[in-house]
Structure 1
Amino acid sequence: MAGYDTLINECPLLLPQNRQKTVFDGFIMVKDKEFRVRILLPEEKHLRHARLQCSWQLKQVLHGYQHIVKQRLQHCSDLVSFMLEFKSVLEIALRNKHDQQAPPPPQYYAQLIKEIESLGWDKLAYMDAELRTIKLKAEDSAGREHMITIKLKAKSSLINLHSQFLAALESLKEFWDIMDEIDEKTWVLEPEKPARSTTTRRIAIGNNVSINLEVDPRHPKMLPECCFLGADHVVTPLRNKLNTNMHLWSPECTVLQNLKDIVEIDFPSPATHEKSSFSMECGICYAYRLASSIPDQVCDDPRCGQPFHQECLYEWLRGLPSSRQSFNIIFGECPYCSKPITVKMTIKKS
């Protein structure tokens, strides 16, 4: 009991949550700051197997000190001695963090304001209260607007960082030109709202037929990774045509133009087709979009051609006694026409 009384004196806001006193929850006070903490002790109350749960603020402060805290937890004889050690470690962590975040000299602020004026205040999108984090707007030579977040240090040059960012934008201009042409002249099925950093596009070719492209930002006009999706009797001729005519790929043309010429695809465009023509619902869950996925498995029978989400079809076939599984591939029958169908469960790139 004396040990518990000592704990109350050292950490009055850390209270037991059960009669056995194996769960403590509350706050500890260090340098006039409160931090939420929860300690779970095993029944024998040995600290070696205890669990320490911290709030996200406390985790930030203790970043880089976790191994010390774990060591103290394993070697202290009781909870009171551990809490004393823990508070000491936390004091050191707070002091070091404060030293690292010492404010820069007055010259830093004067130089920063001068550089912002030189760049133009219209390019400033955000600045935090400490003038350490800044967001700047920038345009590439094609007029596309971009945003850069800069965490400044005492010797940072805002103008140099902005110039480096502009140079990086120009190195990606050709890549964005290629992707913009695809976005403007085809029906992009995935991703729904591509970011500037997204290198993949799944483009509609026809009903339940599409091609997935992954363009290399460093060499955007070279032949990208291509994967045709749809029924085998439809995509096999397209795949063979691309493989046969691959040598005709011209680095002088865009990706879209090369695909039109080599595979002889007339891509449906927003000017000629409605996107709903290609947004077929899954035959199992009756939804088009499942999380971030759209139906990408199609029955190979030309008279059926029903699309399914990969996950839906995989789970459906797994539940049928007539299906056969080999590793992550399931062989079964189409839920609609009972013709043979195969699905391979793969992990998609995020």
Structure 2
Amino acid sequence: MYFPSYRPRRLRRNENIRRMVRETHLRVDDLIYPMFSAFGENIKKEIVSMPGIYQQSIEHIVAEAKEVYELGIPAVILFGIPEEKDAVGSDAYCANGIIQNTIRAIKKEVPKLTVITDVCMCEYTDHGHCGIIKDNDVDNDSTLELLAKEALSHAQAGADIVAPSDMMDGRIAALRDILDENGFEHIPVMSYAVKYASAYYGPFRDAAESTPAFGDRRTYQMDPANRMEALREANQDVAEAADFLMVKPALAYLDVLRELKDNFDLPLVAYNVSGEYSMVKAAAEKDWIDGDRVMMETLLGMKRAGADLIITYHAKEAAKLLNG
């Protein structure tokens, strides 16, 4: 029987050899942990559709932030559940809003943890959309003014990075301008550059209490069928001085991650979204899969596709495995 001179299995013979030739590596430094800060005291409410993830009042957020930092995870990204919502999302840009107070509390107790803030209106509006409603749709330009105010209030409270997720046209330039004008030229903007109108967000809507009261978000989030549009979106954000680019969701859009990696030289972020997390948790609970192995394989796949950083609800679990 003829055998080729090259036998790929030679480099798979044992764990040491496999480690030596491994092409892609997942590190704790690659992880960002999302957190949901809720108005009030002594709140720690598990999100039914996201086992292990909680809406928490600030004192519990701070305690978990300490845990995150001790695990070596470099950053968290914050989402807020305010006391009250209104048509213009007032709490989003209030100096004493839920996120602004959460930033100050974390930076006081865990100053070396990097705090990223989600900049959007959907968590703060009573209609659940990402901006000002005019003619039954989100008005782009009036929304930019509020997003800019929100980002500035986050920077003033001590945020290290602001991350606009709204998908309004021109938002990166609007945020960059207001930050620079107010002495925050050192604050990076992490752009949700490529954000699809995805069914994978379902559990997040429970977590952030941000389900739209009418319609959907397809007039501002991207059509899942489009690949080239992702390059146009990212190119515009680069031209407007974004510091990071993000693809959200990640798992069904690994091809888009690779496109951005091949075409841009900014740090690239993958958002391993709520639906991706919850599917793994649900299947593992039924013993249909090995939850830890599927989790790590999924995150590794995002890294292999080109992600430099991964926002993931698995971050603490993954860090514990990576730390050995």
TM over 0.5: no
RCO higher in 1 or 2 (8 Å CA, sep ≥ 6)? 2
Structure with the largest fraction of strand = 1
Q: TM-score, normalised by structure 1?
A: 0.23
Name the larger-Rg structure: 1
